[in-house]
Amino acid sequence: MAFQRAPGHQPPQWPRADTNSQQLHLDLTVTDMADAEAQALALGAMPLDLDDDNGRRGFRVYADPAGHPFCLCRA
């Protein structure tokens, strides 16, 4: 996987599917949701949707520092 800077980049507007919608989405499978969330937040992630229905939904949605959405998914 490779990343590069994009001058003039406009962050996606999650969960919109029209202009400025996401260009990429990662689902990251984790064994410890609390630990993975703490690490993601420490690295600059922003919570977008943390309502995982008391653990029944099995995933939480975040944005990276550039605004790209990703999910932490319970293994």
Q: Is 54 helix (H, G, I), strand (E, B) or coil?
A: coil
For every residue of 11-28, DSSP letters joined together read ---TT--STT--S--EEE
Q: What is the pLDDT of residue 3?
A: 64
> What is the pLDDT at residue 50?
72
Token code pair at residue 45: 């992630």
What is the mean pLDDT, run by run of 10 residues, along the chain of 75 residues? 70 67 78 95 91 80 87 92
With beta carbons less than 8 A apart as the criterion, state whether 17 and 69 touch: no
Q: Which domains does the chain have, with CATH numbers?
A: 26-74 (3.10.180.10)
